[in-house]
A and B are shown apart, each in its own frame.
Chain A
Amino acid sequence: MTAPTPVVFAWLGMAVFSLVMYVCLDGFDLGIGMLLLLPRQGTDRKEMVEIVATAWDANESWLVLAGIALFGGFPLAYSTWLPALYVPLVAMLLALIVRGVAIEYQSQSERYDPAWGAVFAFGSLVAALCQGAIAGAVLPGIPVANRRFAGGPFTFAHPLSILTAAWLVGTYLLIGAAWLNDKTSGELQAWSKRVLRRGAAPVPGLAAAALLLGFVTGHGAPHGVSPRLSAVIAAALASGAFFWAGARATRGTADSLPFVWNELALLSVALGFAACTYPYLVPPTVTFWQAAAPATTVNVLLIGVGCCMPIVLAYNAYAYHVFRGKFVIPLPTQVVAMAPPRRMRRRSSPAATATLQASIAGVSETVTPLAWLRNVGWVAVWVVLYFFCLGAFGSVLGDRGTVAGILVLIAAMVAVWILTDRRDLVP
């Protein structure tokens, strides 16, 4: 492809959208994970894990979509980016594994388990560092020869990737603290407000430095430096303003505002980075339309994924809606008003139940050789019948006979199952 078609452009938008959704949503749960590295008491830590537990799985789906959007829509980018980013990506995947597993084990345990807490916290830190490094590793360029990555395992290591790693960790911490501010109350909320205010100074500095370095090393904007420079400056200023607004909003009464401001700050820095590389998807030479899959593929992707996306967004929003407001641990025995079950009226008499129980419990354990032989005989009869129905002697019945035999067999199985259950199980 020599020029971007609207469809390819739209699909690039879809890929960027899912990446932004991932960074914004998983950002807060990675941030909360890293906040566990700071000293807090066990009940607070348990609460922080429970807040993450309801959402982390849905949030990570966006990462998968972003990856697959590249795989399907921009296979050349997928097949050169990933080998180039092998070290940070594998480290990130390992970290995401231990972290996700730690959340579920922690959540299944009655009280706070410090070991799984540490795994969760360090896993979150490593994942955030790697994601930051990945963001900074693409901008300076990926050496490509003959449609394949042509660099070494540590080509990704670059001053920019170190800077972006630090920036992303800081940003995730702020977003995590902002989510806690929205979800918790009391001492934990006051603490998260303090974190938000203290982070508001260094993080915008890191963001501005990373954007500047990204501008210097990036390869974007073939039409001259000035539009790119103005975009980067605008992104730096906007993010600074949003971070500041986020810190200021902690003094207000609207608990969700700091989260919104910090997300906007993250978004503006991300767009600034995009401006540093646009339109190159595999800098310094491959543009996004050169990396795109054939038109048939991108069309189908856009229609298929595009049609599903409103539904996906709707039920994701519903899931967040269910867990809206301040976090409360549900009481162990909560009363729910159920619709009246229709079959609750049917009850057997206690006498009948007792008879059934006795008949099951009273089965003799001793098996005489004769009884044993008789049982084996029954099994043998059954096996022959079974294979007859399956058409193992197919020449007798033919293909239609086999299908009929399977249907008869299944009907018989269901009948035996239901009839014996009605006879043996206490209703």
Chain B
Amino acid sequence: MTDLLVNVSRAQFAATVVFHMIFPSITVGLSVFLAVMYAGYVWTGKGVFLAIYRFWLRIFAVAFAIGVVSGIVLTFELGLNWAGYADAVGPILGVIISMEVVTAFFLEAGFLGIMLYGEGRVSPRVHLFATCMVALGTLLSATWIISANSWMQTPAGYTRVGGQFQAVNWTAAILNPSFIYRFPHMLLAVLISTGFLIAGTSAYYLLKGIHLDVSRRAFSLALGAISVLLPLQLYMGDTLAFAMFNFQPPKMQAVEGNWGSTNTGYNVFVVPDQAGQRNLVQVAIPCLGSIIGRDLACHTAFPGLARTPVADQPKMVFPFWGFRLMFYLSILMFAVMASSIVLRLRRRLYGTRWFHRFAVWMTPAGTLAIIGGWTTAETGRQPWVAYGLLRTVDAVSPLSPPLVVVTAASFVSLYAGLFGIFIAYYLRTVRRGPVDFGDAVRIGDRVYEPAVTGASGGQATVPPGDPAPGPGKDAA
């Protein structure tokens, strides 16, 4: 009975957290991108920035709303399904998440109304400020949440009184050992995944040959950002993986996909048999494991999961395949980025159709890689909820299992529906395309918002009574 309860409670949490993660993985980066675009518009008055801003705002608004409401669910699930966890870690994680709420959640929610509906009610500069505050809020939110999760991975700065954890050193608890590695990794990940979303969407327009001004600008910007961030990300990911070997050996043993400790190769495909403590299928590239371990002579083997007592082992299949999903996608993302640099230098970035098709297919790559990474982090920590201290079995709420089955099924079906609707909305918005704008027009000391280009020929909107901007007179 307890097994069933733990499994359905975990399944429900996994389903709700994976669904939630899809949205921050694009909205954190999008909020930064939107702030940059609006700053570009306020700074230069170019309509192309406004067109990009307005277009992505439509997608951001809905994705952000889904991210917020699905995030609220997670906060409550900590108590609903994991009462033992809430009671034990509340005195530490409750503080970290409280700080998230007052410094980040409120900030983004408070300024979101102005960002989405404030145009025309506040000046462009105030609007830019609101947009920046939303971006800052999403970044701070990610910081606190990664800190809280990292504490569960590498608890620090605590003492245990009865069943409860108490902080003895807040700095050590918040800046816990794995936070230092995991925060930059996640930050880069969300920015890169947004980059692929924008690049893929822009590539669609380049393929169709429509909205070229807008899509070239966004395509170049997204790929440019990716090519700056991806080198850092590969380095961070590699550093984090090696740090994890010290923090949580069982997780990395499972990631490498070995049971024994003699394999110097790198496993690319494994079907593990947890009960038999062996692999049913195992495909490895010889010596690559050793080379990744910085031993070019092919003598170093990664330790296997059999070194961990069976009661403390995670289920190998999840960390292994979660990690492989992230790793294989990172190779493809690297291919996009390396090709983009060569195409850029050869002046073919906007004219190479295979590359645009590739980019369209890679639209969800970053988000999928993030889900893979989180699957590795969370399932690899099992059977602990706070690593080495609190077992998942002891954390679960004493609910009746059928009840949790019903709620888990409700969440899964609702989320499946919402996900389908969101994808349909995204595709419809992309098909409708951005509204193209002319540039802002300056007459005397006043500047007028750009008009929609088309029949009016890109003239700015000028109120009756003001002198009409004639050709050549614009931009002073």
Does A363 sit within 8 A of B, measured CB to CB? Answer: yes
Distance in angstroms between the alpha carbons of A394 and B239 in the assembled complex: 13
Complexed CA–CA distance, A72 and B91 (Å): 5
Assign chain A's interface to a size class: 35 or more
Which chain A residue shows the least CB distance to B445? A340
Question: In the complex the two chains form, is A68's CB within 8 Å of B101's CB?
Answer: yes
Stretch of A36-44, A185-193, A268-276, A330-338 lying at the B interface:
A330-338
Q: Tell me the smallest distance from the CB of A314 to a CB of chain B, in Å.
A: 9
The answer to whether the Cβ of B306 comes within 8 Å of any Cβ in the partner chain is no
Docked-complex contact A104 and B62, CB < 8 angstroms: yes
Q: Do B86 and A71 touch across chains, with their CB atoms under 8 A apart?
A: yes
The reply to whether B101 and A338 form a contact with Cβ atoms under 8 Å apart is no
B397 close to A (CB within 8 Å): yes
Distance A21 CA – B283 CA, assembled complex (angstroms): 58
With A57-B109, A61-B101 as known contacts, state yes or no: A71 contacts B90, CB within 8 Å.
yes
Q: Would A76 and B119 be within 8 Å (CB), given that A294-B164, A386-B231 are in contact? A: no
Bound Cα distance from A79 to B164, whole angstroms = 12
**How long is the Cα–Cα vector from A300 to B171 in the complex, in angstroms?**
12
We find that the number of chain B residues with CB closer than 8 angstroms to chain A is 119
Q: A94 to chain B: which residues have CB within 8 Å? A: 410-411, 414
CA distance in complex: A101, B216 (Å): 31
- In the complex, the chain A residue whose C-beta lies closest to that of B414 is A94
Q: Is A108 an interface residue (CB 8 A)?
A: yes
Are A152 and B123 closer than 8 Å at their CB atoms? no
| Cβ-defined partner of A108 (8 Å) among B61, B70, B92, B119 | B61
B461 — nearest CB in chain A belongs to which residue? A333
Flag if B217 contacts A425 (CB, 8 Å): yes
Quick check: which of A197-205, A212-220, A377-385 contacts chain B, the rest being far away?
A377-385
Partner of A390, one of B65, B234, B410: B234
Q: How far is the CB of A372 from chain B (nearest CB, A)?
A: 10
B182: shortest Cβ distance to chain A, in Å? Answer: 19
- Assess whether B120 is in contact with A336, with CB atoms less than 8 Å apart: yes
Chain A neighbourhood of B411, CB < 8 A = 94
B122 to chain A: which residues have CB within 8 Å?
322
Name the segment of A82-90, A231-239, A246-254 touching the other chain: A82-90
Mark B242-270 against chain A: 1 for CB-CB distance below 8 A, else 0. Answer: 00000000000000000000000000000
Interface assignment of B473: CB less than 8 Å from any CB of chain A: no
User: Distance (Å) between the CB of A369 and the closest chain B CB?
Assistant: 14
Fill in one digit per residue for A285-315: 1 if any B CB lies within 8 Å of its CB, else 0. 0000000011011001100110011001001
- B-side binding surface: helix, strand, loop or mixed? helix
Q: Which of A86, A416, A425 contacts B345 (CB 8 A)?
A: A416
- A58-B109, A416-B345 known; A148+B83 contact, CB < 8 A: yes
- Residues on B with beta carbons closer than 8 Å to the beta carbon of A153: 399-400, 403
A98 close to chain B: CB less than 8 A: yes
Complex contacts, B69 vs chain A, CB 8 Å: 60, 96-97, 100-101
Task: Among A293, A342, A410, point to the contact of B90 (Cβ < 8 A).
Answer: A293
Docked Cα-Cα span, A89 to B351, in Å, equals: 54
Min CB gap B232→A, angstroms: 7
Contact among A101, A389, A426 with B418 in the assembled complex (CB-CB below 8 Å): A101
Closest residue on chain A to residue B85 by CB atoms: A79
Decide yes or no whether A63 CB sits under 8 A from chain B: yes
Would A336 and B101 count as touching, CB distance under 8 A? no
Bound form: Cα–Cα A341–B227 in Å: 30
Question: Do A75 and B118 form a contact, CB below 8 Å, given A64-B72, A420-B344?
Answer: no
Given A335-B463, A337-B446, A338-B449, answer yes or no on A83-B58 (Cβ-Cβ < 8 Å): no
What total of A-B pairs shows CB separation below 8 Å? 363
Q: How far is the CA of A70 from the CA of B58 in the complex (A)?
A: 35
Tell me whether B95 is interfacial, beta carbon within 8 Å: yes
A residues in contact with B352, CB < 8 Å: 363
In whole Å, how far is B277's beta carbon from the nearest beta carbon of chain A? 33
- Residue numbers in A under 8 Å from B114 (CB-CB): 319, 322
Point out the residues of chain B lying under 8 angstroms from A296, CB to CB.
91, 166-168
Pick the contact of B80: A83, A104, A335, A379 (CB < 8 A): A83
B113 at interface, CB cutoff 8 A: yes
Per-residue interface assignment for chain B, residues 73 to 87, with 1 indicating a CB less than 8 Å from any chain A CB and 0 otherwise:
101101110011011
Q: In the complex, what residues of B have CB within 8 A of residue A1's CB?
A: none
Per a CB cutoff under 8 Å, which of B62, B88, B119, B220 touches A420?
Answer: B220
Whether the Cβ atoms of A347 and B227 lie closer than 8 Å is: no
What is the distance, in angstroms, from B143's C-beta to the closest C-beta of chain A?
14
B447/A339 in contact, CB under 8 A: yes
**Docked pose: A158 CA to B352 CA in angstroms:** 68
Q: Which residues of A contact B445 (CB under 8 A)?
A: 340
Q: A71, B97: Cβ atoms under 8 Å?
A: yes
Flag if A76 contacts B87 (CB, 8 Å).
yes
Bound together, the chains give a CA A390 to CA B294 distance in angstroms of 13
User: Taking the complex as formed, is A404 at the interface, i.e. its CB lies under 8 A from any CB of chain B?
Assistant: no
The answer to whether A305 and B102 touch across the interface, beta carbons within 8 angstroms, is yes
Which residues between 212 and 235 of chain B lie within 8 Å of chain A, taking CB atoms? 213, 216-217, 220, 224, 227-228, 231-232, 234-235
B contact set with A: CB distance below 8 Å? 42-45, 58, 61-62, 64-66, 68-70, 72-73, 75-76, 78-80, 83-84, 86-88, 90-95, 97-99, 101-103, 105-107, 109-114, 116-125, 133, 161, 163-164, 166-168, 170, 213, 216-217, 220, 224, 227-228, 231-232, 234-235, 294, 296, 334, 338-339, 341-342, 344-353, 397-400, 403, 407, 410-411, 414, 418, 421, 425, 439-440, 442, 445-449, 451-452, 461-463, 475-476
Interface residues of A (CB under 8 A from B): 50, 53-55, 57-58, 60-61, 63-65, 67-73, 75-76, 78-83, 86-87, 89-90, 93-94, 96-98, 100-101, 103-105, 107-108, 147-150, 152-153, 293-294, 296-297, 300-301, 304-305, 308-309, 312, 315-316, 318-319, 322-323, 330-331, 333-345, 347, 359-361, 363, 365, 375, 378-379, 382-383, 386, 389-391, 394-395, 402, 406, 409-410, 413-414, 416-417, 420-421, 423-426
Can you list 14 A-B contacts with CB-CB less than 8 angstroms, sorted by A residue number? A53-B117, A57-B109, A60-B72, A86-B397, A94-B410, A104-B62, A108-B58, A152-B400, A293-B91, A296-B167, A304-B98, A304-B99, A337-B446, A341-B440
